[in-house]
Amino acid sequence: MAYAAQGQPDLAEVAQRWAAERTGMLARMGGARRELSVAVSVEASVTAPLMTAAALRLLTLLGVLPDGMAREDLTVLLPEDGLAGAGALRQLGLAFGEGDRLRTLTPVREHIAASHPPAPADLDQAISHYAQLAALTGDQVGTSDGARAAARLQAETGNIAAMLERAAVDQRTRELADAVYGLAEYWRFTGFTQPALVTIAEAAIQAHGTPFQQARTWRALGDLAHGRSDYDGARAQFERALPLFQQAGSVVGEANCIRGLGDIARDRSDHDGAGTHYEQALQLYQRVGSVLGEANCIEGLGNIALARSDHDGARTRYEQALPLYQRAADVLGEANCLRRLSNITPTRSNHDSAQTSQERPTAG
């Protein structure tokens, strides 16, 4: 009531408003319940003189964002109204600051979501924003900026899930597929999981997505399963995606799936099967000029040679892959090749020394 009184000359009008609105709410809702006081209080603030169009517009978005809104997103989602609206909502007590975020209490948010949905254009922009955030930021996890990217996605977990569920309902499969692809990287590196979201997104993409969108999603889920040592699940996803990539004419996608099958075979110590898959994928990568894909396959062949104690063959493969990783600016791949080369050299040197000692004539 105190917030509703702001901007009023005295409490008489506030008392009249309270009596009128409470009576109306009672008539509509059929009695006094706990949520009634929340609804009446929120509506009193929503209709208070200090409520502005900018603040109400922001409040309707906060109603559908369970994690609130980061300060950096205020000016992205509402370039003209975000900052001014946030100030008015704080003054009215409908929102509060928590770190760098603007939040609402759960009962307030639930009432606003039910009674004051955002304008279609604002909701559309919010769906696109959080889908893009998932796609682009998720792809940064595992890079030099990965810690910041993971923290950003963790803070937006509820918002991203809520907006992607709406994207699924609206059959916005392009944004949904891109978002799942990014999130799969985030989940793979952090161990976090959102199975309900995966189920919803997978069903929507299966029903309404293009072959390429489906293939990209299944492949991302295959990488996720492989990263968690679910080899059967990963193989099923790669085999599911492979013909769709071929149907869509994506040579790189086809090669990625074949290489993924090679990785699974290698992890199961099926060196012959792994080598066959790597050779097949290598030809496809070379056909389209994918330097990073080529490097990955050559390194994989080097790993097979090393597992077979073929040190010369492994060294040759790693030396071939190293400049390709450097061209692709893949620091991790470059580091792996250098590490393995350094491990091979002393092992090989010790072996040569031992062989030389055995060949020396003994005295006497």
Q: Which of 3, 7, 5 is nearest to 93 (CA)?
A: 3
> What was the pLDDT predicted at 271?
97
pLDDT digits (tens, 9 = 90+) for 121-144: 999 999 999 999 999 999 999 888
Name the stretches of the chain with pLDDT < 50. 1-11, 14-15, 18, 22-32, 34-35, 348-364
pTM over 0.85: no
> What was the pLDDT predicted at 358?
46
> What was the pLDDT predicted at 13?
53
> What was the pLDDT predicted at 234?
98
> What was the pLDDT predicted at 143?
82
> What was the pLDDT predicted at 41?
86
pLDDT digits (tens, 9 = 90+) for 326-343: 999 998 899 999 999 999
> What was the pLDDT predicted at 363?
40
pLDDT digits (tens, 9 = 90+) for 145-159: 899 999 999 999 999
> What was the pLDDT predicted at 251?
98
> What was the pLDDT predicted at 349?
46
pLDDT digits (tens, 9 = 90+) for 188-238: 999 998 999 999 999 999 999 999 999 999 999 999 999 999 999 999 999
> What was the pLDDT predicted at 230?
97
